[in-house]
Structure 1
Amino acid sequence: MADSDLERLRDRIGYAWEIAHEFGLDPFPTHFELVPATIMYEFASYSLPGRFSHWTHGKAYYRQKMLYDLGLSKIYEMVVNTNPSYAFLMEMNDLLQNTFVAAHVFGHTDFFKNNVYFQHTSRRMIERASLNAERIAKYEFDHGKLEVEHFLDAVLSIQEHVDYHLFLKGEDEAEEEEQLRRGEVSRTRPSTEYDDLWELDHEEKERRAEEERERRRGRPPKFPEKPQKDLLLFLIRHSPILEPWQRDVIEIVRQEFLYFVPQMQTKVMNEGWASIWHSRIMREMADRGMLSDAEAVEFARMHASVLSPSRTSLNPYYLGYKIFEDIERRWDNPTREEQERLGRKPGMGRQKIFEVRELDNDVSFLRNYLTKELVEELDLYLYKKEGDEWVIVEKNWEKVRDGIVASMTNFGFPYIVVDDGDYRGNRELYLRHLHEGQDLDMVYAEKTLQYVHQLWGRPVHLETVYDGKRILLSYDGERNSKTTLER
């Protein structure tokens, strides 16, 4: 970007900020920084600036770079959900492109601030990620880089198996936890960065003592009492072999993944919301003479490119944009039946989309507002591979809507729970896949079981359904096996 355009960009960002507020948006204060393409690749690959190093991040970096070099993908911006928010612009983008990106960013930061699913995320994650990286670097120094990397391989293979609902807590509790971690307040005994791990160790000793008492009474308790979705938390608390530093590494991975969960829950809404407002902010800037006619035409081209529908996958920008647009239109112009039966009043479209932005996630958004008319207009359908060809298998609008919603259950990851942590009375770990029509990749599942064994230290088992049959995959430290179960 030319140096002569920097002052103009600063002014345009200010205008976009003012217009966003005129439209009723309430974004976090946003700090913009121009960075070269290599830094943008790094941020996109690591998902957070300053995050811990691992080869998977490097792999993602080179994939991003290759796609960009081949002209198959372009990163316009990256924005981080913090307060204040941080947004990174590409140096090589021109003035118009970065103005367009800034307008888009204000839609995101308004969404971060006001959507209920983001209310429990840490607003200091950049600082926390850097501290986490320092802790992992210290473990690499103490225990060897290769050992820590191999341990991270195992943890990252199951990082998505967390339970977000356990993470929800009030801001006061979260602040107290952060103060304890920083040492700004103390417990009744001396505080260290491992206090949470010592407490888990104490809980584990108490649990084992209670188990022993129950065994003596002839009533071995079920462990856990009910299935546990948060596999990482279960390993932190109950793995019989992990050292304190290893429990800490798992907790780092868990906390960072939980930070990204609201973004996964609202991808369609968040991108649709940002797209709605970048289009309106930029049009308003053009109407006020802040953009030239040529820039207005070029923006229309860029906007159309971002919202271009795909023939093989859902474009979240396009789908979210169209649904928000349809909600506003329908609530601005309710039918007579809607007015009489539902009490809708004309002209309530803006209020309605702000309400949806605040209260919904992608599942409720699509279930409630993806209408028959939109499914037909957007030409949505379900398809699958039969032999060597992809074929359309469903065009009924309700089944299409429900199929899209189902694909978002657990963010597309298999839903696996800890069913028994003392299987066969031998401290073996029994996991159960809650099968919802999508079979596991057997090669991936068997390799992942080996990683889980690395974290548990005893034989591990996974019950699932494959080709319509209940099977049990097992790994005992030396070999994988597969057993067909009775129905």
Structure 2
Amino acid sequence: YELVINTAPAQAFLLENNSLLANKLVVAHVLGHSDFFKNNTYFAHTDRRMVERARLHADRIRQYEMEHGPQRVEQFLDAVLSIEEHIDPVEPTYRRPDPKEYAQQKPALAHPASEFDDLLGRVEAPEPAPVKRFPPEPEKDLLLFLRDHARDLEDWQRDIIGMVREEMLYFLPQIRTKIMNEGWASLIHERVLEALPLTPAEHLEFRRMHSSVLSPGSRMSINPYYVGYQILRDIERRWNGEPPDEDDEPETDWLGRPKPRPIGEGWQKLLEVREMECDVTFLRKYLTEGLVKRLDLYTYKLEEVNGELVWRVQETDWEKVRDALLDSMTNFGVPVVMVEDGDYGRRGELYLKHYYDGKPLDLDYTLRTLKNIYTLWNRPVHLETVMDDEVTIFTYDGQQVSRASRR
């Protein structure tokens, strides 16, 4: 329907079979996206030359296929793509050392050994310090860790990991602002089309297309266009000083004292929100009780009733519904898995830990991913998680998966 690329300037594409009015809507929608790309703080460090860089990446991968064979390259690339979300845009605070620095140190004398040590009463140094862990603190960026520290990777393989990570970092701001970005673009296309001299028939057709874009989601998912647009409209209404809805929360200062409602500041507030927020902060601050009710947002659960699976409303409390939505966006919706030890057992094995948040891992997907990580690390890989209220460690040694539990 529409495609826009965050470059400088932004590039957009129109379908040949679109009507003129549909293309007007797409152009206006793309204008909103471009404005968001250029002004939202989460896009401040975006590489605007990514189209050219992606083209160079494709050229290098084709060259690697010629040198090492398409099947080998594709299998390796598939393994990398299976963990592409496990990155961290924030560089670690520690210096990335060579794993050899963490080799066991031998005990040393307090002073250089000499033939007079027994006369001078010199003694051996205290016990050596505990062996340093590698990495010294848990590492969230699994791709970067594997690229830098997997011992058996060839240069072309490290390059592929770097390319996948670079492209994922480019898309990360779009993942973090999906609801806001689509809501803003929908708001802008509405303002632009309403300002155009459309005929009554064109205006009716525009409203039909607009309603289609902003249709509510389903039990399984929300429509980011719809939710983002409705929240932005509500912000503008509230900051313009329009009469409050019965479900509006009273504005208070940091002491809990009532604040006067702003008047005529709606558009300025929208510009501020568009610049400063991501989806998580946007929803936490501006998804109110009234909006949850008007948007018919609930949490659902699939239950068996008389031998049939039916959806039942599980939670209607607006704060719990909001928090459930926020939880689904934490860490871009993927489990938090960190490198705990890159030299586990002093054997060069990889020990990963899933930071359990009450949602168990999908077992089949976990085991497939564990094998893919082994492909990159080429030594046994361990994953600690929680299954059935027990701490469970899965290990893949290149031949089979084993499972051990402890309470």
TM-score under structure 1 normalisation? Answer: 0.74
Change (3 A) 1:334 1:213: farther
Contact 2:240/2:265 (<8 A) preserved: yes
What letter corresponds to residue 407 of structure 1 in structure 2? S
Residue 125 in structure 1 maps to residue 67 in structure 2: no
Note if 1:253 corresponds to 2:167: no
For 1:98, the aligned partner's letter is N
SS at match of 1:408: helix
1:232 is matched with which residue: 143, 152, 157? 143
Gaps of 5+ in 1: 1-75, 169-202
Number of aligned positions between the proteins = 372
Q: Following TM superposition, where does structure 1 have runs of at least 4 consecutive aligned residues deviating by more than 6 angstroms?
A: 334-337
Write the distance in 2 (CA, Å) between the matches of 1:122 and 1:292: 41
| Stretches of structure 2 lacking an aligned partner (at least 5 in a row) | 108-127, 245-249
Cα deviation, 1:269-303, whole Å, max 9, x if unaligned, reads: 00000001101110110xxx2x2221111000000
- Contact in 1 for aligned 2:348/2:379 (Cα 8 Å): yes
Distance in structure 1 (CA, Å) of the matches to 2:358 and 2:192: 43
Report the alpha carbon displacement of residue 443 of structure 1 after superposing the two structures with TM: 0.8
> Which letter does structure 1 place at the counterpart of 2:189?
H
Any residues of structure 2 matched to 1:60-139 within 5 Å, and which?
76-139=1-64
Contact 2:336/2:355 (<8 A) preserved = yes
On the 8 A contact 2:99/2:149 being kept in 1, the answer is no
**2:98 aligned to 196, 200, 207, which one?**
207
Larger-Rg structure = 2
User: Is the partner of 1:164 in helix, strand or coil?
Assistant: coil
Quick one: distance in 1 between partners of 2:147 and 2:91?
14
How many Å separate the matches in 2 of 1:451 and 1:160?
14
Which protein has greater RCO, CA pairs closer than 8 Å, 6+ apart?
Answer: 2
CA RMSD of aligned residues (A): 1.9
Alpha-carbon offset, residue 215 of structure 1: 5.5
1:316 aligns with 2:232: no
Alignment TM-score, normalising by the size of structure 2: 0.88
Q: Is the 8 A contact 1:214 1:221 kept in 2?
A: no
Cα distance, 1:212 vs structure 2: 3.0
Match of 1:47 in 2: none
Q: Which of 358, 361, 364 is residue 440 of structure 1 equivalent to?
A: 361
Q: Output aligned runs, 1:366-405, within 5 Å.
A: 366-387=283-304, 388-405=309-326
Instruction: Tell me the CA shift for residue 321 of structure 1.
Output: 0.4
Counterpart CA distance in 2 for 1:167 and 1:100 is 43
Who is 1:148 aligned against?
Answer: 73
In structure 2, relative to structure 1, the CA distance for the partners of 1:142 and 1:283 (3 Å cut) is: same
Aligned residues of 1:380 and 1:400 also touching (Cα < 8 A)? yes
- Aligned counterparts, 1:320-335, within 5 A: 320-333=228-241
Helix, strand or coil for the counterpart of 2:14? strand
| Equivalent pair of 1:416/1:433 in contact (CA under 8 Å) | yes
Q: By how many angstroms is 1:219 displaced?
A: 3.1
Give the structure with the larger helix fraction: 1
Q: How far 1:335 sits from its partner (Å)?
A: 7.1
Check whether the contact 2:99–2:134 (CA below 8 A) recurs between aligned residues: no
The 8 Å contact of residues 138 and 338 in structure 2, kept in 1 or not, is answered as yes
Identity across the alignment (%): 52
Does structure 1 residue 268 correspond to structure 2 residue 268?
A: no
